[in-house]
Chain A
Amino acid sequence: KAGVTQTPRYLIKTRGQQVTLSCSPISGHRSVSWYQQTPGQGLQFLFEYFSETQRNKGNFPGRFSGRQFSNSRSEMNVSTLELGDSALYLCASSLGNEQFFGPGTRLTVL
């Protein structure tokens, strides 16, 4: 079974731009969660989607948004990028308590 895939793996943007990251979960997994990982804050939960609906949301500003498609693939969007948005963005799909993580997208904001 293929694992969780994330595209792109690396991204460089400038302040004020917007970015869209993509995540394809493991086949059959309907829940997709997104996390931001930085050295200072560690792993922070962004949001979780289940059957195309946002089911849980972390404490991030409205510039961070996401969506899930009928095939369970998910995208997250960050608008008006700030320097502090530079991070590793991780996506995880799950079937129950265990989460399976993708390799992440490394976003650098200049």
Chain B
Amino acid sequence: SQQGEEDPQALSIQEGENATMNCSYKTSINNLQWYRQNSGRGLVHLILIRSNEREKHSGRLRVTLDTSKKSSSLLITASRAADTASYFCATGRGGSYIPTFGRGTSLIVHP
């Protein structure tokens, strides 16, 4: 079964708008990562946030982590058509660093 679940499943926005996607998980984690996947291709690592961190930034990306609510959010500011992709969260637990992936959010940014 999937550890992380992304919400919404699909998101459609206009270029320049912000995109927010959420990830919820069930058990305690050591870290949470966000990945991007362009259609039918490999995943690209975006950002890793550790369980003792609350917020991280990378360029136009902002990730938050709320361990009390077992949830994370990924915010993409000033979106571009090139941001069109599927976004996955992956949780790492305990001594294992094999991330467990959610089903992803499909983001479409219209030019």
**Residue positions of A touching B, CB distance < 8 A:** 4, 33, 35, 42-43, 45, 48, 56, 88, 90, 92, 94, 96-104, 106
Contact = CB atoms under 8 A, between A and B. Distances in A.
Interface in B80-111: 88, 92, 96-104
Contacts, number: 46
Given A42-B2, A43-B88, A56-B96, A101 B42 contact: yes
B59 interface: no
Q: Is the interface of A mostly helix, strand, loop or mixed?
A: strand
Interface of B: 2, 31, 33, 35, 40-45, 48, 88, 92, 96-104
A97 B44 CA distance: 14
A104 B42 contact: yes
Given A33-B98, A42-B103, A97 B48 contact: yes
A4 B40 CA distance: 16
